[in-house]
């Protein structure tokens, strides 16, 4: 079954996720969608010092938005800030240092941020594919800690700030790779069998799609979306998937092409005309399952994912840490 899914997914990718796929989809884009002025609105982008996150930050800064860059490395963050301000002419770019794999740090950051700032849009972009099973200092598997638990805690911690604003949005950068995975709540931290970083990443990205669907139902004041950027030429692809990169490097999207739907979901009025909770590719809602693939999860499994994340998040919350 997984051979079937992987083959169908790869063929779909060759058609749709490449630069050529972007160019044919872009023929149907509506230019006016992005002709907006977002001066006065504030946008938080995690992992904004490189790749898709930085390209999205530049595009939104050009439209006047205040940009909060959330990055783990001070030098890389300051370097990106310089590039974003220079290329956009927008000085309202702020750096926040945060390791998205540290639940305690995320809680503390979100509490402080909410007390000092407004937030209109959260873009959950930071992501990783760690190819060996490694644990964070809290003993959590690194891909899960960054891609799922970190995304979960940052989002729920910032929801009260988002809910105060008109037209609040949460955009999560998932991956089409999630199409090959069915939610597996029995082994969220990949303790069983042989560890496969690509499949761990795909499982994490499936979980982000499910989280978005669930959040959209429980938080009607905020518009949630999750998306696939296509295959874009970024540092993560070069370092985590060197064989794939070698094979595909001439067909990969630019970082700007990868960021296009992120930007569209974050700022265009057209995006929120779509229902909350959908999965997008090239500005269009698309299926979260491959044809004939048995990747649908049960409500009970989805509930278990939510409950586990809630329990883990609670364990690292400020209340639990001071108790
Ligand atoms: N490029 C693609 O083809 C593709 C396809 C599907 C999905 N995506 C998704 O797109 C998103 C952006 O990735 P990208 O391709 O643009 O790669 P990238 O340029 O390497 O960007 C990833 C960003 O995430 C940050 N990050 C990773 N772990 C972090 C942590 N623990 N705390 C804080 N920041 C952390 C990285 O920071 P450092 O610079 O410090 O490492 C970097 O800024 C990811 O969620 C990825 O899964 C990309």
Tens digits of residue pLDDT in 197-253: 999 999 999 999 999 999 999 999 999 999 999 999 999 999 999 999 999 999 999
Question: Looking at residue 293, what is its pLDDT?
Answer: 76
Indicate whether 115 pLDDT > 70: yes
Q: Residue 292 — pLDDT band, cuts 50, 70, 90?
A: confident
**Which listed residue (22, 43, 152, 201) is catalytic?**
201
- Ligand 1 binding pocket includes 100 (Cβ within 6 Å): yes
Indicate whether 264 pLDDT > 90: yes
Number of compact structural domains in the chain = 1
- Ligand 1 binding pocket includes 45 (Cβ within 6 Å): no
For ligand 1, what atom is nearest to the CA of residue 146? 31
Q: Rounded mean pLDDT of 124-153?
A: 98
Question: Looking at residue 1, what is its pLDDT?
Answer: 52
Question: Looking at residue 319, what is its pLDDT?
Answer: 82
User: Which CATH number do you get for residue 240?
Assistant: 3.40.50.720
- Ligand 1 binding pocket includes 240 (Cβ within 6 Å): no
The domain containing residue 256 runs over which residues? 2-322
What is the Cα–Cα distance from 288 to 319, expressed in whole angstroms?
36
Indicate whether 59 pLDDT > 60: yes
Cα 126 to ligand 1 centroid, rounded to whole Å? 5
User: Across all residues in the chain, what is the average pLDDT?
Assistant: 97
Q: What is the pTM of this model?
A: 0.98
Identify the residue whose C-alpha is closest to ligand 1 atom 30. 100
Identify the residue whose C-alpha is closest to ligand 1 atom 14. 51
Q: Rounded mean pLDDT of 298-305?
A: 98
- Ligand 1 binding pocket includes 13 (Cβ within 6 Å): no
Clarify whether 43 is annotated catalytic.
no
Q: Rounded mean pLDDT of 86-98?
A: 98
Question: Looking at residue 3, what is its pLDDT?
Answer: 87
- Ligand 1 binding pocket includes 125 (Cβ within 6 Å): yes
């Amino acid at each position: 079954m997984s051979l079937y899914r992987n083959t169908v997914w790869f063929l779909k990718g060759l058609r749709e996720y490449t630069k050529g796929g972007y160019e044919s989809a872009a023929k149907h884009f509506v230019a006016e969608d992005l002709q907006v002025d977002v001066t006065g609105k504030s946008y938080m982008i995690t992992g904004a010092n490189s790749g898709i996150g930085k390209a999205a930050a530049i595009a939104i800064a050009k439209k006047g938005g205040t940009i909060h860059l959330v990055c783990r490395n001070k030098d890389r963050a300051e370097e990106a800030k310089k590039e974003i301000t220079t290329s956009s002419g927008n000085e309202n770019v702020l750096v926040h240092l945060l390791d998205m794999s540290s639940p305690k740090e995320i809680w503390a950051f979100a509490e402080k941020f909410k007390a000092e700032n407004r937030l209109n849009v959260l873009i959950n972009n930071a992501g990783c594919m760690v190819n060996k099973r490694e644990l964070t200092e809290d003993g959590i598997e690194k891909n899960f800690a960054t891609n799922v638990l970190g995304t979960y805690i940052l989002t729920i911690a910032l929801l009260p700030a988002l809910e105060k604003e008109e037209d609040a949005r949460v955009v999560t950068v998932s991956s089409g790779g999630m199409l090959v995975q069915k939610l597996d709540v029995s082994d969220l931290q990949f303790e069983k069998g042989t560890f496969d970083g690509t499949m761990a990443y795909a499982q994490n990205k499936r979980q982000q799609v499910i989280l978005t669907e669930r959040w959209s139902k429980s938080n009607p004041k905020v518009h949630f979306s999750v998306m696939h950027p296509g295959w874009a030429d970024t540092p993560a692809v070069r370092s985590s998937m060197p064989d794939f990169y070698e094979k595909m490097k001439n067909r990969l999207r630019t970082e700007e092409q990868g960021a296009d739907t992120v930007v569209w979901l974050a700022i265009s009025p057209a995006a929120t005309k779509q229902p909350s909770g959908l999965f997008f590719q090239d500005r269009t809602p698309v299926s979260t399952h491959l044809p004939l693939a048995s990747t649908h999860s049960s409500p009970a499994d989805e509930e278990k994912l939510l409950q586990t994340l809630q329990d883990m998040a609670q364990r690292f919350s400020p209340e639990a840490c001071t108790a």
